Structure 1
Amino acid sequence: MNRAQKEQLVEQMRDEFGQAKSIIMTSHVGLDVNTVNELRSEFRAQGVHYHVVKNTLAKLAVADTDLDIMAESFRGPTAVAYSFEDAVSPAKVAADFADDHDKFEIKGGYLDGKMIDVAGVDQLAKMPTKDELRAKLLRTFVAGPTNFVRLLNAAPQKFLNVLNARKDDLGEAA
């Protein structure tokens, strides 16, 4: 890779890291290729970007930006997972994968201008994703009108039940 390609890669990383909602740093040393490909497909399914980065280039990409506090974390083999849409998805996929694979290591992460440790990544992974929050909000919006329609329907339904019971009483008496 020549100097121009490296500079272009640094600029691309700087732009992508700057737009990311959260960044999770991992290491997959010791995992076989099929397992890493499985991990990549899980990240891709959630709309998460996952790349192995060269530490020196990653340090250059975060230098003189708000992400500068991440520079010390780029040691040893490092891969980053990030999403432009959802801060929780990278952490959730990484934490789930780490639970199933002992050799997969979460090094830490970056969220809202602060570094988070492994425990912070685990807490982030337990939060609902953007889609889960949307579903809850939609259920909340639908609940009010649904209950209102049930309430409007309850009086005529109960009145009909009373009439049917009276009809049955009169039918037995005859």
Structure 2
Amino acid sequence: MAKPDKVAAVSELKEKFTSSQGAVLTEYRGLTVSELRNLRRSLGEDASYAVTKNTLTQIAAREAGIEGIDEQLVGPTAIAFIDGDPVNVAKGLRDFAKANPLLVIKGGVLEGKVISAAEVTKLADLESRETLLAKLAGAMKGTLGNAASLFQAPLSQAARVLGALEAKAQEDPSVIAGAGSAPEATEADAAPAADDNTPAADAAQEEK
């Protein structure tokens, strides 16, 4: 590759690292052109998948401020740059790898932080952002506007809110399953307790 082409390739990779929500690095050795096409199709608009050169990727990642990715850049590398929901991308790659073992997930980057292959798998095991937001909306029937605003929130902000919801749900499953429905008022709740200092209470004392 001529030097101007290398400079352009590094610039493009750097832009992808900085503009995307993250990236998943894979080894694709042995996959056919048709299988790679199917993989790209399965990721849809959530990610762009491209074969890259390790040396250029190292330079681009370093220029993008990403440290610790070099050890993942061994062997043939193709990167899924995440444009949509990271969970959907992780699920798509995991499911494709199950059906096509020649695809190996090496690790990746999420919001500027390097993650391992095991962490990508854990990400794939999570529920999608849409599913969690739907549950959050159900648990916040009185304040749906707050839940709706999360659709426009940055991933890191939404992740913190959803993480808090998950922690709360582990303590009290009703937050997800039955939250939002107020308990029925009992007759005892409806009737205020008699105060010894009220006129009615004074009259009752006099009758005695």
Structure 2 length-normalised TM: 0.62
CA drift of 1:142 comes to 4.2
CA distance in structure 1 between the aligned counterparts of 2:130 and 2:65, rounded to whole angstroms: 28
CA drift of 1:87 comes to 2.5
Q: Output aligned runs, 1:44-123, within 5 Å.
A: 44-45=44-45, 47-123=46-122
- Equivalent residue pairs, number: 150
SS at match of 2:107: strand
Q: Assess if the C-alpha contact under 8 Å between 1:63 and 1:71 holds in 2.
A: no
CA drift of 1:120 comes to 1.1
Q: Output aligned runs, 1:135-154, within 5 Å.
A: 135-142=134-141
CA drift of 1:28 comes to 1.5
CA distance in structure 2 between the aligned counterparts of 1:143 and 1:99, rounded to whole angstroms: 42
Quickly say closer, same or farther: Cα 1:144–1:17, change in 2 above 3 A.
closer
CA distance in structure 2 between the aligned counterparts of 1:90 and 1:111, rounded to whole angstroms: 12
CA distance in structure 2 between the aligned counterparts of 1:35 and 1:143, rounded to whole angstroms: 47
Give the unaligned 5+ runs of structure 2: 145-179, 185-208
1:32 matched residue in structure 2? 32
Give the unaligned 5+ runs of structure 1: 152-174
Q: Which amino acid aligns with 2:43?
A: F
2:132 matched residue in structure 1? 133
> Is 1:16 aligned to residue 34 of structure 2?
no
Q: Which amino acid aligns with 2:55?
A: T
Q: C-alpha deviations, 1:36-57, integer Å up to 9, x for none?
A: 1111101125x21111101111
RCO greater where, 1 or 2, for CA within 8 Å and sep 6 or more? 1
Q: Assess if the C-alpha contact under 8 Å between 1:22 and 1:88 holds in 2.
A: no
Quickly say closer, same or farther: Cα 1:116–1:144, change in 2 above 3 A.
closer
Q: Which amino acid aligns with 1:3?
A: K
- Percent of pairs identical after alignment? 31
Q: Which amino acid aligns with 1:31?
A: L
Quickly say closer, same or farther: Cα 1:144–1:114, change in 2 above 3 A.
closer
CA drift of 1:98 comes to 1.1
> Is 1:42 aligned to residue 52 of structure 2?
no
CA distance in structure 2 between the aligned counterparts of 1:144 and 1:110, rounded to whole angstroms: 34
Please identify which structure carries the higher helix content: 1
SS at match of 1:68: coil
